[in-house]
Structure 1
Amino acid sequence: MADIEKIIKAIDEFLERQHQQITTPVEINPFLEAKGLLNDSASRPGLPIRKILRKGQIKHAFQIGVNWQIPHSGKTLRTLKPIPNTNSEKEKIPEKTISASRHKLAPIGDLIVKLIEQKYNKKPSCFYEYKPDWLLSNPSEQIIENCSELSELYGELTENKFSLKEKFAELTIKKLKQKQSFDIWIGEPFNFAVEFDEKQHFNQFRKITFDFYDKIDIKFPIRFYKELNNEIEIKPGKSGFTKLKSNDPLFPEMLEGEKQDNRIRQRAFRDFLKDLLPIENGFNPTLRIPYQVTNKTIRDFTETELKNVENYIKDNELI
């Protein structure tokens, strides 16, 4: 277990040596590794210290946009000059965001905001169908290079018939820019997504993805999710539930005949991306709520169903 006091002391030492006011995870983690305090990640530089920061264990650290900043522990923010961030994710409502009054998950969003306010004495903003620029439907070339598990997972989902790097080369510019949306986004200073997983998110392909979460921070009980996916098998079909209606180079039709299951494979892959991309972009892990918690109700929740959600969040320490 990391010794937080020694880590903070080492960060202060680094800043004093370098005559700097602030350092970043990528810059400081190699120094901490050299001092034998916290090994860095070869594939994701700075990830180990970012995990500590996300847990709030270095209380004087802060974020500007998506970027973590670590000042000297003896200085206050008022003495520091903010570092301009040209790539910050400004908290704003995207054009296609649905208002809370019209969204079926508003009761759950309101509940989560209430729980956060009770625990932290801060009321965050709450957006629905939130589409940040970085939440892409397909992984970027950089993410594929940095996250080897992504290619391994893709291989499993496509029965090792295709290579993710090779198929990525077939994506058009339009496909590369295509974005997903989160069901709910909890804003500053907490910055995390909430996904309410309905029937289509439980199947044999989603089950495969849970073997690839070892290096990803999560905010849902993965064992429970494995159990929920354990005995559900969706068979190929002709509907949009199982078969893609438009071409996706990453998930072409793999079966003979009209019945296909490429939409299910694609959905499982994109669910994994929704858990991976927030972490890669400096945000907190995605909180997932399975619809089994609300007795498979997906709208017009009763007080009992909302209490179930509250108990699920508290029992699993998700906030």
Structure 2
Amino acid sequence: MRLEVGIIALVEEVLGTTADRRAQFDWLRNKPSCKYFGKYYDAAMALYAELDGDWKGTTAKADGYLVPDAYFPDPYHFIFEFDELQHFTQFRERTFQFYPENIRLAYVPEQYRQFCQQHHVAALAKGPERFRRHTADFPYTNGRAAQRAFFDTFRDWLPPLHGLNPTVRLAEFEVVPILSGQLSGETAKVYMEQLLHERFKRSSYDATG
């Protein structure tokens, strides 16, 4: 079972609702588009250049949706992402240099940068070779890691532009007591409630229903 499955189930329990785990949004796709990025498009393309993206490969690849880990509908209206170790690479750390000022986020980006600094070697080493493969848009060793980092910015920047609340992220390292079994049942639920409350407070929206 993927780690995210149990975490999403616990978030569902805390919020008292069922998440959509196959949500698709017309504006959340696998290529940067001025139509959907709007005022953030130039920053997105500057990041793309920083990550050595290949435009010919990007335009040639098939169009597709980026399906979030989960989407919590009315009354919450937010995408939920559970970030496991492989997300915390040097590529992801570099993305934060390009985040627009005053962008609404439901997590602490500086904490994520610290996670990247602490875990980037293990992050790139994790998993099968496909985690480090070339991709059409980032055609070099560890291109998949660069692509993952680029797409994480899509999931952060686009939702508030298109009527959703900021994306709620939880890092694997933040829920170790739950994943290890140290916390379970009601204590795990209380712990998750605290994590979610911090994020809702930071992003300045009421997700209590």
Runs of 4+ in 1 over 4 A off after TM superposition: 235-238, 296-301
1:200 aligns with 2:86: yes
The alpha-carbon deviation at position 228 of structure 1 amounts to: 1.3
Amino acid at match of 1:205: F
What residue in structure 2 maps to residue 109 of structure 1? 12
RMSD between superposed Cα atoms in Å: 2.8
The structure whose Rg is larger is 1
Looking at structure 1, the residues matched to 170 and 18 of structure 2 have their Cα atoms a distance apart, in angstroms, of: 19
Looking at structure 2, the residues matched to 206 and 279 of structure 1 have their Cα atoms a distance apart, in angstroms, of: 20
Looking at structure 2, the residues matched to 206 and 126 of structure 1 have their Cα atoms a distance apart, in angstroms, of: 26
Kindly indicate whether the alpha-carbon contact (under 8 Å) linking 1:109 and 1:184 is maintained by their aligned counterparts in 2. Answer: no
1:273 aligns with 2:176: no
**Aligned CA distance change for structure 1 residues 296 and 239 (closer, same or farther; 3 Å):** farther
Higher RCO (C-alpha 8 Å, min separation 6) = 2
Looking at structure 2, the residues matched to 183 and 299 of structure 1 have their Cα atoms a distance apart, in angstroms, of: 21
Looking at structure 2, the residues matched to 290 and 153 of structure 1 have their Cα atoms a distance apart, in angstroms, of: 22
Identity of aligned residues (%): 26
Structure number with the higher helix fraction is 2
Give the TM-score of the pair, scaled to structure 1.
0.52
Amino acid at match of 1:226: R
Aligned residue pairs total 190
What residue in structure 2 maps to residue 217 of structure 1? 104
Looking at structure 2, the residues matched to 154 and 242 of structure 1 have their Cα atoms a distance apart, in angstroms, of: 18
Looking at structure 2, the residues matched to 157 and 297 of structure 1 have their Cα atoms a distance apart, in angstroms, of: 34
Kindly indicate whether the alpha-carbon contact (under 8 Å) linking 1:190 and 1:284 is maintained by their aligned counterparts in 2. Answer: yes
Looking at structure 2, the residues matched to 170 and 267 of structure 1 have their Cα atoms a distance apart, in angstroms, of: 14
**Aligned CA distance change for structure 1 residues 306 and 225 (closer, same or farther; 3 Å):** farther
- Structure 2, gaps ≥5 residues long: none
Equivalent residue in structure 1 for 2:27, among 126, 134, 141: 134
The alpha-carbon deviation at position 150 of structure 1 amounts to: 0.4
Deviation track 1:4-40 (CA, whole Å, cap 9, x = no partner) reads: xxxxxxxxxxxxxxxxxxxxxxxxxxxxxxxxxxxxx
Kindly indicate whether the alpha-carbon contact (under 8 Å) linking 2:178 and 2:184 is maintained by their aligned counterparts in 1. Answer: no
**Aligned CA distance change for structure 1 residues 128 and 143 (closer, same or farther; 3 Å):** closer
- Structure 1, gaps ≥5 residues long: 1-102, 115-123, 254-259
What residue in structure 1 maps to residue 116 of structure 2? 229
